[in-house]
Amino acid sequence: MKGSGAMILAVDVGNSNTTVGLFDLAGKLMFRSTLETSRSKTRDQCAIDLLGVFRLYDAEVREVTGAILSSVVPPLTAVFADTIGRLTGRPPLVVGPGIKTGLNIKAEIHDQLGSDIVAYSVAAMADYESPIAAIDMGTATSLSLIRGSVYEGCIIMPGLTLALEAMSERAAALPPISIEGHAQVELLGRTTEEAMRSGVLFGHASMVDGMLDRIEERIGQKLTVVATGGNAPRILCYCRHEIQYDADLVMKGLYLLYQKNTRKPRRT
């Protein structure tokens, strides 16, 4: 990848994971890497992590000509912004109030909308047919409705891992379990662990299906549904709705936001 020219760095700091993506100027995603989010990391530790990602993918941080940062972890926003500026020599564009999105966001939620939700909504609006339900399955599961360029609103639900951890922590008789490495789960479990896996997987899928049914009933239209986030592949196979999986939805949205906010207007 070395010597490939100018690059755009996109960083999305989530509650559980931090995603790092590198785009060329044509908008091609050169790599996407996932790191664990730690609220206690210093600027130096963040710099070491980012440099390690660049080395892993044989990329040069000196070729970064612009950067954009999305963060839903306020204590880390300034840490990552300073770190990116230090490594690239350019302060990143930070997704927040005042940024150009192309979305007509309902006034009541405009200043409260998470930057990751803004990013995936911008990408969904650009790539999928309206009306769109865009779902991000991470620490929390967020479901957004976009019609044309209008962001109609959002539903936020407990995420898959969060629900699983809460169940084992709050119910003394239920053990901690993992959903990793289980290709197919039966609806009716014959052990406690099987029953818990069924509950969280089929339960989460039913929750998503139920919300989609309610939205379609309310607007009187069939939705185009797209999902992203680390838990999406575990859930979508149990959903009854047709849901497209787009692992890079947030990254693509960040690239589009960068372009919208840095592109120079044409002279007339």
Residues 76 and 119 in one domain: no
Looking at per-residue pLDDT, the higher value among 259 and 198 belongs to 259
Residues 171 and 110 in one domain: yes
Q: For residue 110, what pLDDT is reported?
A: 56
The contacts found for 138-142 with CB under 8 angstroms, 24 or more apart, are 138/14, 138/15, 138/16, 138/17, 138/229, 138/230, 138/231, 139/14, 139/15, 139/16, 140/15, 141/204, 141/207, 141/208, 141/229, 141/231, 142/114, 142/117
Residues 191 and 76 in one domain: no
Residues 115 and 199 in one domain: yes
Q: Which residue has the tokens 């299906």?
A: 209
Q: 163: closest CA among 174, 153, 154?
A: 174
Angle between helix 74-88 and 43-56 (nearest 10): 60
Say how many domains are in the chain.
2
**pLDDT over 70 (residue 128):** yes
Residues 211 and 240 in one domain: yes
Q: Residue 258 is encoded by which pair of tokens? A: 């960068």
Give the whole-angstrom CA distance, residue 68 versus residue 257: 8
**pLDDT over 70 (residue 172):** no
pLDDT tens digit sequence for 40-94 = 989 999 999 999 999 999 999 999 999 999 999 999 999 999 999 999 998 999 9
**Is residue 222 a part of any domain in this protein?**
yes
Helix and strand tally (H, E) in the chain?
7, 11
Residues 75 and 160 in one domain: no
What is the pTM assigned to this prediction? 0.89
Residues 25 and 118 in one domain: no
Neighbouring residues of 183: CB distance < 8 A, sequence distance ≥ 6:
none
Mean pLDDT of 227-247: 94
**Is residue 255 a part of any domain in this protein?**
no
**Is residue 264 a part of any domain in this protein?**
no
**Is residue 254 a part of any domain in this protein?**
no
pLDDT tens digit sequence for 92-108 = 999 988 889 998 887 56
Catalytic residue list: 116
Instruction: Report CA torsion sign: 91, 94, 100, 101.
Output: positive
Average pLDDT, the chain: 89
Residues 156 and 80 in one domain: no
**Is residue 256 a part of any domain in this protein?**
no
Backbone dihedral angles phi then psi of residue 6, each to the nearest 5 degrees: -65, 145
Mean pLDDT of 123-129: 96
Domain carrying residue 22: 7-94
**Is residue 40 a part of any domain in this protein?**
yes
**Is residue 237 a part of any domain in this protein?**
yes
β-pairing verdict for 104-105 and 7-13: unpaired
Looking at per-residue pLDDT, the higher value among 231 and 265 belongs to 231
Task: Identify the top-confidence range among 40-44, 72-76, 245-249, 263-267.
Answer: 245-249
